[in-house]
């Protein structure tokens, strides 16, 4: 009888809001179209195959008795934004003993959805009762199908968006691309459809990602605003413990990550961990983070600030937060 009960229990593990992970996911509800995005630049992360968890070869019963935990669908997802500080947030959160997260970006809800929820769940780390499973894929925020797909998985999923001054974010995005493709056109030439008229090219993904209010409207069709936490990329640098406190509260976690976990690295220009997860040594994000930005024509920077201002004001109203970008 005990073994029968255990089998039934683990057959249901990993489900959320009545949706089991066996078979194909339920068809997503249609989402209103957004203007097409240019393909995003490849991420800085290791490949999924390099970082994904080892296959679950043990039976549910043996997993129960050896205390290794269970693979579950994520209860919280960092959905954006690219070059906003998502990697830093994830690394900081992994210090918490009640947070388990995938290291690589699964890209399930944008690139791999046809693989099904069972495939997605298998990527997740094993968790014990009371621990939170998380993942982060910044491109979800600008993927029109992602809100409906995540809602179909679990309407109660908590969402985290790390936002940053959209002008600085665009320059950082360009800098990342430039490091891989040194022969690309200048930032200034890519910014405008016509520089003489000052018409901004919103089809360029580096520009479009920063129109946060437009993307958020799509998410609010499927999730209440209170289910989305907006983290300031700037405050992640100036006050990491303060922002991590808000995140821990949002996730329903005890405030374990505090000032004592951070030190400011003057060379990189951002906070680093005194001790990373599973290590007794200090840890800073790799060389791909904190790159020196190229010098950009200040007239172009000002035109971008003027372009983003009304979108920023709307975003402040929608979120109830003033991020101080103007």
Q: What is the CATH number of the domain that holds 157?
A: 3.40.50.300
**Confidence at residue 199, expressed as pLDDT on a 0 to 100 scale:** 94
Is 29 part of any domain?
A: no
265 is a domain residue: yes
80 is in an annotated binding site: no
DSSP 16: B
56 falls within a domain = no
State the Cα–Cα distance between residues 140 and 147, nearest whole angstrom: 8
Check: CB of residue 93 under 8 Å from CB of residue 101: yes
What's the order of all strands across the beta sheet hosting 132-136?
Answer: 99-101, 132-136, 76-80, 158-163, 228-232
Please state, in angstroms and rounded to a whole number, the distance separating the CA atoms of residues 77 and 133: 9
274 is in an annotated binding site: no
Going along 115-203, which residue ranges are E strands?
A: 126-127, 132-136, 158-163, 192-194, 199-200
The answer to the question of whether 289 is labelled as a binding residue is yes
293 labelled ligand-binding: yes
Angle between helices 240-250 and 86-93 (to 10 degrees): 70
**What pLDDT is recorded for position 271?**
86
Q: Is 86 within any annotated ligand binding site? A: yes
Contact criterion met (CB below 8 Å) for 160 and 229: yes
Range of the domain at 145: 70-319
- The count of domains in the chain is 1
Instruction: Give 28's DSSP letter.
Output: P
From residue 38, alpha-carbon distances to 84, 121, 146, 209, 288 in Å are: 18, 29, 16, 10, 22
In a domain, 268, yes or no: yes
Is 286 assigned a ligand-binding role in the annotation? Answer: no
Q: Is 172 annotated as a binding residue?
A: yes
The rounded distance, in Å, linking the Cα atoms of 205 and 57 is 41
Low-confidence ranges of the chain (pLDDT < 50): 1-15, 17-67
pLDDT tens digits, one per residue of 68-91: 799 999 999 999 999 999 999 999
Instruction: Tell whether residue 210 is among the known ligand binding residues.
Output: no
The pTM score is: 0.79
pLDDT tens readout for residues 19-42? 333 333 334 333 333 333 333 333
Q: Is residue 10 part of a domain?
A: no
For residue 321, the tally of other CB atoms under 10 A from its CB is: 12
Q: Is residue 51 part of a domain?
A: no
**149 lies in a domain?**
yes
Residue 186 tokens read as 């200048």
Assess if residue 187 is contained within a domain. Answer: yes
Q: Long-range pairs for 10-15 at CB < 8 Å and ≥24 separation?
A: 10/60, 10/61, 10/63, 10/64, 10/70, 11/60, 13/60, 13/70, 13/71, 13/72, 14/70, 14/71, 14/72, 14/73, 14/121, 15/73
Catalytic residues: 83
Give the pair of three-digit tokens for residue 268.
């990189």
Q: What number of other Cβ atoms are within 10 A of residue 21's Cβ?
A: 21
Whether 59 has a binding-site annotation, put simply, is: no
């Amino acid at each position: 009888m005990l073994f029968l009960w255990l089998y039934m229990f683990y057959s249901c593990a990993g489900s959320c809001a009545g949706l089991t992970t066996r078979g194909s996911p339920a068809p997503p509800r249609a989402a209103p179209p957004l203007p097409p995005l240019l393909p995003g630049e490849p991420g800085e992360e290791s490949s999924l195959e390099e970082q994904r968890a080892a296959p679950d070869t043990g039976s549910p019963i043996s997993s129960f008795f050896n205390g290794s935990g269970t693979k579950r669908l994520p209860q919280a997802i960092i959905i954006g934004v690219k070059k906003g500080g998502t990697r830093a947030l994830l690394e900081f959160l992994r210090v918490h003993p009640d947070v388990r997260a995938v290291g690589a970006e699964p890209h399930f809800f944008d690139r791999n959805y046809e693989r099904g929820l069972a495939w997605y769940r298998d990527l997740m780390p094993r968790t014990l009762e009371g621990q939170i499973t998380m993942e982060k894929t910044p491109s979800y925020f600008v993927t029109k199908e992602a809100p409906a797909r995540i809602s179909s998985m679990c309407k109660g999923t908590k969402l985290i968006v790390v936002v940053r001054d959209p002008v600085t974010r665009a320059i950082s995005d360009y800098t990342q691309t430039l490091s891989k493709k040194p022969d690309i056109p200048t930032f200034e030439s890519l910014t405008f459809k016509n520089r003489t008229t000052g018409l901004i090219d919103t089809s360029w993904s580096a520009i479009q990602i920063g129109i946060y209010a437009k993307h958020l409207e799509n998410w609010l069709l499927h999730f209440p605003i209170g289910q989305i936490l907006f983290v300031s990329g700037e405050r992640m640098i100036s006050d990491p413990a303060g922002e991590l406190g808000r995140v821990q509260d949002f996730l329903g976690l005890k405030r374990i990550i505090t000032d004592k976990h951070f030190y400011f690295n003057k060379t990189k220009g951002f906070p680093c961990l005194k001790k990373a997860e599973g290590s007794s040594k200090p840890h800073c994000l790799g060389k791909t983070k904190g790159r020196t930005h190229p010098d950009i024509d200040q007239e172009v920077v000002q035109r971008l600030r003027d372009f983003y201002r009304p979108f920023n004001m709307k975003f402040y109203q929608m979120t109830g937060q003033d991020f101080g970008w103007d």
